[in-house]
Structure 1
Amino acid sequence: MFKRSTLSTAIAWALGGLAGVYLTAGHAADATTPAKAAEEQTTASSAPTLAKVTVTAQKREETVQEVPTSISVLSGDKVRDTSLQSANEVTRFIPNASAGTSEGHGRPRWWIRGLGTGDQGANTVSPVGIYVDDVYIANISATGFPLFDQERVEVLRGPQGTLWGKNTTAGAINFISRKPTFEQSGYFKAGIGDYNDRVLEGAVGDTLVDERLAARVAVRHQGRDGYSDNLNDGNDSGTIEDDAARLQFLARINDDLDATLNLHARSYHDTGGYSTVSYGLRPNGTNQFGYFIDPEKGKVNYNAKYETDIDQAGSNLNLVWQLGSLELTSITAFEHFQRESWSDSDNTPLELQRGYGDVDAKQWSQEFRLTSPREDRLNWVLGFHYFNEDLDSESANAALTNPYIPRSYNNTTYNQGTESYALFGSTTYSFTDDFNVTAGLRWTRETKDIDFVRRQNQGQANFNGADWWKLGTVSTPLVVNATQDESNTWSDYTYDLTPEYRLSDNARVYFRYAYGFRSGAYNTGAVSQATVATVDPEYLTSYELGFKSEWFDGRLNANAALFYYDYEDIQLNIVTAVNNQTVSRLANGAEGEAYGAEFELEAIPVENLHLNFALGLLHTEFTDYTSGNDDFSGNKFVRAPNVSAVIGADYRIPLNVGGAIILGTDWNTRSRQYFFSNDQSQNMRSGGYTLGNARVTYELPGETTRVTAYVNNLTDKEYRNHTLPGGFQTAAVMFGDPRTVGLSVTTDF
């Protein structure tokens, strides 16, 4: 375990030099792990070829090149060997996608092609559908889970409402874990890095009863000191402890029926998350009280408790019946998520604001799918999906003893229940061997009811006890200034139509027309009765033209997609400072458009060299957007850079004594992006930046054990991950991760 040191600096310089020499030699880039290069390149002939990647994006197994939609796939080996820690980090390799987070490994903000939501209300549903082993996860805060023992991650762009259920106007991301088999397998990984980073993870699977029962258990632990020093108390800010486990059983009940039971849990703790620093907006850099702090990366100044605790647990039972030529799938799932957090909301040593939040969410879902054989001229998928969630939330803000302002307190509690039913189907008809058409339809009915109450102090607040956030500690009379007791039901159809034509044995073109909607919601950020609101559904019409191809006997894959979005009644989070408190208000009614393109190349130009390149081009604009007396028409969508690109490479050097050296690097660049739809001033945006990573792996003879040294953020680029408007003429900037250096050992068995 080590903090920044001479050793870490030496490794950084060594890897940086290798990456520089490597790129100077003319080697491009990679977004795929090299650890299994021998397997990926093995064919009947001696020439290396790209592996065929199997996905279930259309609820049945197909190779990714055969799926007529824009999709990117990360293998589980790549996730492990590039040391991706949290779910949101997968977008590091995906063009036109991002998932910034405002704290450690929690609360990701998911965006695909400019569509997403920055609203962090527990009841806000993202237009990017997040799935774990085909189970939909509703609560955004529950989607920052650690990545371990993954089979693959599938990222689908564009509306996916037909087959992927709720609110997937922007796209769907499915995290698929490795399943038990009747063969022994497993791995162990240990890693250390600067900032006292330490990772232990592993998995083992084997047969318990011959050909009848198998199991697989996987565990992971990560601990890390904070990236920032708290000037107020001298401690680290941003420390992380993240523990997770998954236990799965596979039962072959008979020749036609398999059952997989998945049990999983997570416990997470952090202090302060990212380096969040407030700075004054007055010309001399001070706030309204004349207080000045230099917004320096790695230096924070908190005088209040800043912590987050998350506990998650869940289970799902997957049954697969073979009914003659048909297959019936049942997925029953339950998830429980709890999150409690405290924050120094003003991010200064002044006693201006403290924040508290507590969320308890329980969801269960049931899905049935009946599918016909994919090879039939007419093939189809029919299904039913049920979803139920019970959500309780409490939040509080207060200003305690302070010479500048009077003591204040407010408390918001709500319970929201959600119940959703959907019938869906998709069918493909092959008119000829080269031409087919896929059509999908889904009907969804969703009911949400809410019981919302907001209270605030009347007169100067007085507190009896250290637990200031609790209603019982406030001795001052409280008044209800906002309430809502309401139930609403929304229902609508989503659909898509996709003709596809095979130009040759190695090239296909498709056109996809899709219509999606995100159901209505409630504004739980209301601060007065006037801001209590029920938000209508939003709608998206998408047009996409795509091309997929393979060249040079399987050594090059080249894909491209052009798209246009017509976006109506957009649900937006409008972030402002109200009464010197940062408030995120959910509203809708805006209209906008987005268009762009993605280009993806994967190649093995010569033996042992694997290259990847992905480019995303995006134009977004609110064509009609007013809020009160303000007109924001012409603003850009949030977190929608005009250009995003990924380039990387892995080169394997076999050694005469056995084993190999593998050199790897990947680079990610993004142009300017905005954090809010309403405020797009210089203070509320991020300039363009490029992040590079490098690694050197020694693969021991036998190809089962690998030792890897790595550097992330190779150039130690300072960039903004998020910015928030604050009260008292301030703003808060959250910096992205600094350069980190580490070493890991991985053994497969």
Structure 2
Amino acid sequence: MKRTTGYLGVLFLCGVSQLAIAQDETPAGDPTDIIVTAQRRSQSLLDVPLAISALGGDTLQNKGISNSASLATAVPNLQVSSPYGNTQPNFSLRGISVANEYNSNQASPVGVYIDDVYIAARTSHGMGLFDLDRVEVLRGPQGTLFGRNTTGGAINFITRAPKLSGSNGTIEAGYGNFDTIKAQGAIETTLVEDELGIRIAANYEKGDGQLRNVAPGGRDANSVDTLQGRFSLRVRPGNGPLDIKIRAYAGRDRGTQAGIHGLTGPGTPGQGFFEVNENRIGDSRTDAWGVAANVALELSPQVTLTSITSYDGGKQNLQQAADGSPLDVLDINWRSNFRQFSEEARLNYEGDSLKLVGGLFYGWDRTITDNRFNIGSMLGAGVNGGFFQHYRQSRRSQAVFLQGDYDLTDRLVLTLGARYTWDKAHYRDGYAYLFAGDVGGPDLPLASTVPCAGAPGTCAYDPAARYEIDGSNKALTGRAALSYTFDGGTLVYASYSRGYRSGAFNGGGYTSSVGITYIDPERVNAYEAGIKGRFLDKRLTLSAAGFYYDYSNQQVQDTRPGPVSFLVNAPKSEVYGGEVEASFRAFPGFTINMSGGYLHATYKELTLQGTDLSGNDLPFAPRWTGTAGFDWTIFDTGSDSLTFSPTVNYFSRQYFSPFNAVNAAGTGQVNAELQQKGYAKVNAALAWAHGPIQIRGWINNAFNRKVYSYGLDLRGAGFPYNFLVPSTPRTYGVTARFSF
């Protein structure tokens, strides 16, 4: 604890002594004064005693952030990775992630929300970003107001809602390399001024595969084919105290699978880094849809009652050639169907010295999974086979929460909050069997593997055999903070918060029922100190934070020869570091934007495959991340303007596995392959605006850096290779946008 308080104290006091310079208050309407709802009420970003990155819709467009996987280029200490390309992204905030877990039934430790609605299915997290008001990324545990499964933080995608005044809209079309066509549009109209309005938005993108397939007749990997739509209705009867917002959305992706380097890779003759050699490039088919109603009733000028009701669903059908070769070594079909419902009722009180947010939450989600694993020559030379797996998982969560801000003085605010959560989970209708058969053909069941406590093939096939297990846990999470605002508006704060990620079933258990267990929930005790404000005559906007985490029971996969997967808890980890975000208006028309993060995330206790991994880095936790760029308006005549916006993003070395470069004895592992050394990528855009028309040329990964975004140990499971996912090569194009 001395180390914790010393680290945070030094950062906090240094920040205050150097930056707490009296400044004039920011004038109303300042374009840099972003309004956020991170504490379930509207506040200026610089008034919230939390580490938050907020990106407005225009910023997302100008930075070329078109899907959730691109957020890592704009948020310090955020990593986004996936074995499935943009599908089912794994978010890592300050080192907290799903680590080497890849099954669709697992909840992300970084909660993902659309308009305050929690989205349980990670497949639905890989959404295209369009017609958004803003994205709020909250770093650190958010277990009080956002709930369970937020040990790492929360990401809230906030869509544009009808303003009930006038009409407006946008139309955008673009073309890029890989024969990529993009189109977006939105239209809003007010049917009754101040009372009734609708907004309709759509997004479409289609492009060829970005990784060339050198296999004769093979399809290219990483193609894009997505279509999304959203309808929003807002009703405010008589412009009175009742405000109803209804949002419905649907979308689908039909691109080809992420490219894999496995048995073959860039060291193979005739194959480059941005190429694959694969006879079976599969399709990544995903669907997502949902409807939500946000009903707010102002009971008095101080009290508002809000109800948020949602029902969402989706499915995935991912056909993945996982061997990265023209041979049928490992082909997987990941199939899951998702449903969820949630209801949150909360009461907001806004007094002179006291502000309260409290309420109740209830939600359930269900996952039905049917996975097929085809393994070439599994049953003998030239005799193919594999495993089929089925199960149904359901989870229910209930919670009660309350958080209050009390003004101890006109400058000093005390924040106290608590949440109590009850979680129950059920694993039902579980069965798996060993079969003989080829990829895409019929299979012949040979032996039951679930339920079966023995080695694969030792239990006779029983089509009626089923496995089930239950799990439950309770948790008290909360937050305590002190914040102080200086004369010029500079805010300093120190806080303690506790986060929780519910227990989980092992979705990777299909060769034996021994590993299908319900493991303990994750917990994190987080300490943070920060400062944010405007300085140098408001030309500099800056926020900085330092943090220390006591992190226990991270849920990780322990994959053993067989292959047999066990979901286990990493008993103890230590995470500390800091981040800073700054925007400096050097002179009119020229603004410098910078952000950076330092992260030290290591296991204090962890043993996998009988190997002590204490002291290893957590996966997807680079020590250093940084972004630097500027927006330069080269000229602005009033009717025409030209703006140049280059950005460089840096990430230091990161490991993809808890093993780092350590190999378990007797496994044939080469875990040193499962890492990406430090790299930098350069993006740039040049935008010309003429009244309501904007034409924008852009380029991403301008220098074509060769980077792996994900890796998985398959050697330890008995396969003769590791699984590596290359990221996209250089992309560029032009878009035209018309606003009305």
Q: What TM-score, normalized to structure 1?
A: 0.88
Which among 602, 618, 633 is matched to residue 652 of structure 1? 633
**Residue in 1 that maps onto 2:249:** 264
Deviations 1:415-443 (A, max 9, x none): 01111000001001101111110001000
Residues 61/357 of structure 1: CA separation in 2 closer, same or farther (3 Å cut): same
Partner in structure 1 of residue 654 of structure 2 = 673
1:353 aligns with 2:327: no
Tell me the residue number matched to 2:516. Answer: 532
| 1:444-463 alpha-carbon deviations (Å, 9 max, x no partner) | 001000025343337xx246
Please list the CA deviations of residues 95-134 of structure 1 after superposition, one character each: whole Å capped at 9, or x if unmatched. 1111123334211010000001142212101110000111
User: Aligned pair 1:190/2:184, yes or no?
Assistant: no
Inter-CA distance 44–93: structure 2 relative to 1 (3 Å threshold): closer
Note if 1:59 corresponds to 2:35: no
- Aligned AA (2:503): G
Cα RMSD between the aligned structures? 2.1
Q: Is the partner of 1:277 in helix, strand or coil?
A: coil
1:173 aligns with 2:155: yes
Instruction: Name 1:487's counterpart in structure 2.
Output: 470
Distance 2:429 2:576 in 1: 38
CA shift in 2, pair 1:747/1:452, >3 Å:
same
Task: Measure, in 1, the Cα distance between the counterparts of 2:490 and 2:174.
Answer: 42
SS across alignment from 1:244:
strand
Name 1:39's counterpart in structure 2: none
Q: Within 1, Cα distance between the matches of 2:636 and 2:674?
A: 51
Instruction: Determine helix, strand or coil for the equivalent of 1:65.
Output: helix
Does the Cα contact within 8 Å between 2:141 and 2:153 map onto a contact in 1? yes
How many Å apart are 1:276 and its aligned residue?
1.3
For 1:188, give the aligned amino acid.
I
Change (3 A) 1:731 1:293: farther
Candidates 297, 302, 310, aligned match of 1:321 = 297
Cα distance between partner residues in 2 of 1:515 and 1:585: 27
Displacement of 1:678 in angstroms is 2.7
Distance of 1:295 and 1:97 partners within structure 2: 32
Aligned amino acid, residue 742 of structure 1: G
Name which of 434, 446, 465 aligns with 1:477.
Answer: 446
C-alpha distance in structure 1 between counterparts of 2:437 and 2:56, whole Å: 55
Alignment pair present for 1:301 and 2:272: no
Q: Give the equivalent residue in structure 2 for 1:739.
A: 730
Deviation at 1:731, TM superposition (A): 1.7
1:294 offset after TM fit, Å?
6.8
Q: Report the secondary structure of 1:88's partner residue.
A: helix
| Matching residue within 491, 496, 499 for 1:513 | 496
Shift of 1:401: 6.5
Amino acid at match of 1:329: T
TM-aligned CA distance change 1:573 to 1:462, over 3 Å: closer
Contact persistence 1:642–1:671 (CA under 8 A): yes
Asked if 2 retains the 8 angstrom alpha-carbon contact of 1:50 and 1:603, the reply is: no
Counterpart residue identity of residue 130, structure 1: V
Change (3 A) 1:253 1:49: closer
Which residue number in structure 2 is paired with residue 455 of structure 1?
432
Describe the SS at the equivalent of 1:236. coil
Quote the Cα distance in structure 2 between the aligned partners of 1:305 and 1:453. 29
User: Which piece of structure 1 moves more, 510-519 or 63-72?
Assistant: 510-519
Match of 1:141 among 123, 130, 135: 123
Question: The residue matched to 2:393 in structure 1 has which SS?
Answer: strand
Task: State the partner residue of 1:15.
Answer: none
- State the Cα deviation string for residues 16-61 of structure 1 (Å, max 9, x = none): xxxxxxxxxxxxxxxxxxxxxxxxxxx989xx96521100000000
SS in structure 2 at match of 1:638: coil
Does 2:628 align with 1:640? no
Contact 1:49 1:553 in 2 (8 A): no
Opposite residue 595 of structure 1, the aligned amino acid is Y
Helix, strand or coil: the match of 1:429? strand
Query: Which residue identity does 2:687 align to in structure 1?
Result: T
2:73 alignment partner, one of 92, 103, 108: 92
Matches within 5 A, 1:144-163: 144-163=126-145
Q: 1:388 aligns with which of 346, 359, 364?
A: 364
Structure 1 residues 545 and 44, CA gap change in structure 2 (3 angstroms): closer
CA contact (8 A) 1:109 1:116 kept: yes
1:44-96 CA distances to partner (integer Å, 9 max, x unpaired)?
A: 89xx9652110000000000000001001111001123222211212211111
Q: Equivalents in 2 of 1:136, 1:740: separation in Å? A: 32
For each residue in 1:627-660, what CA deviation from the matched residue of structure 2 results, as whole angstroms up to 9, or x when unmatched?
A: 3521111110111111000111101133448311
**Structure-2 residue corresponding to 1:708:** 696
Higher relative contact order (CA 8 A, sep 6+): 1
The match for 1:413 among 390, 406, 411 is: 390
Q: Partner of 2:319: helix, strand, or coil?
A: strand
Q: What's the offset of the Cα at 1:676?
A: 1.1
**Deviation digits for residues 493-552 of structure 1 (CA, Å, limit 9, x no counterpart):** 001100111233231210010111111111121232332221111110000011112113
- Cα distance, 1:295 vs. partner? 6.1
CA distance in 2, matches of 1:279, 1:400: 13
Counterpart Cα distance in 1 of 2:387 and 2:269: 27
| Conservation of the 8 A alpha-carbon contact between 2:685 and 2:699 | yes
**Percent of pairs with identical residues:** 29
Give the one of 675, 689, 705 matched to 1:685: 675
Structure 1 residue 169: deviation in Å? Answer: 0.9
Distance 1:426 1:299, change over 3 A: same
Q: Aligned to 2:658, what secondary structure does the other structure show?
A: coil
Larger displacement relative to structure 2 (610-619 or 60-69): 610-619
Deviations 1:560-607 (A, max 9, x none): 111000011221233x4633x5x6642114211010011111121210
What is the match of residue 10 of structure 2? none
In structure 1, what is the Cα distance between the partners aligned to 2:271 and 2:674? 14
| Partner amino acid, structure 2, of 1:514 | S
Tell me, yes or no, if the aligned pair for 1:50 and 1:555 is still in contact at 8 Å. Answer: no
Task: Find the aligned partners of 2:581 and 2:34 in 1 and give their Cα distance.
Answer: 15
Offset of residue 747 of structure 1: 1.2
1:256 alignment partner AA? P
- The residue type paired with residue 53 of structure 2 is S
* Superposition pairs of residues 186-335 of structure 1, within 5 angstroms: 186-232=169-215, 233-254=217-238, 255-273=240-258, 275-279=259-263, 296-324=272-300, 325-335=302-312
Q: Are 2:56 and 1:75 equivalent residues in the alignment?
A: yes
SS at match of 1:407: strand
Query: Structure 1, residues 455-478: CA drift from partner, whole Å, max 9, x if none?
Result: 3337xx246xx743xxxx223433
For residue 165 of structure 1, report the CA deviation from its aligned partner.
1.4
Find 2:104's aligned residue among 96, 102, 122: 122
Per-residue CA distance 1:275-332 (angstroms, 9 max, x = gap)? 3121479xx98xxxxxx66763222122235111111110000101000120111100
SS of the aligned residue for 1:530 comes to: coil
The answer on whether the counterparts of 1:412 and 1:452 sit within 8 Å (CA) in structure 2 is no
Question: Aligned partner of 1:69: which letter?
Answer: L
Alpha-carbon contact 1:50-1:604 (below 8 Å) kept: no
Q: Which deviates the most, 621-630 or 687-696? A: 621-630
Shift of the 50–317 alpha-carbon distance from structure 1 to 2, 3 Å rule, reads: closer
1:728 alignment partner, SS class: coil
| Structure 1 residue matching 2:59: 3-state secondary structure | helix
Show structure 2 runs of 5+ residues with no match.
Answer: 1-25, 452-465, 662-670
For the residue of structure 2 that corresponds to 1:554, the secondary structure is coil
Given that 2:397 and 2:422 are in contact with CA atoms closer than 8 Å, whether structure 1 keeps it comes out as yes
SS state at 2:88 partner: strand
Amino acid at match of 2:178: Y
- Normalised to the residue count of structure 2, the TM-score between the two structures is 0.89
| Number of the residue aligned with 1:723 | 711
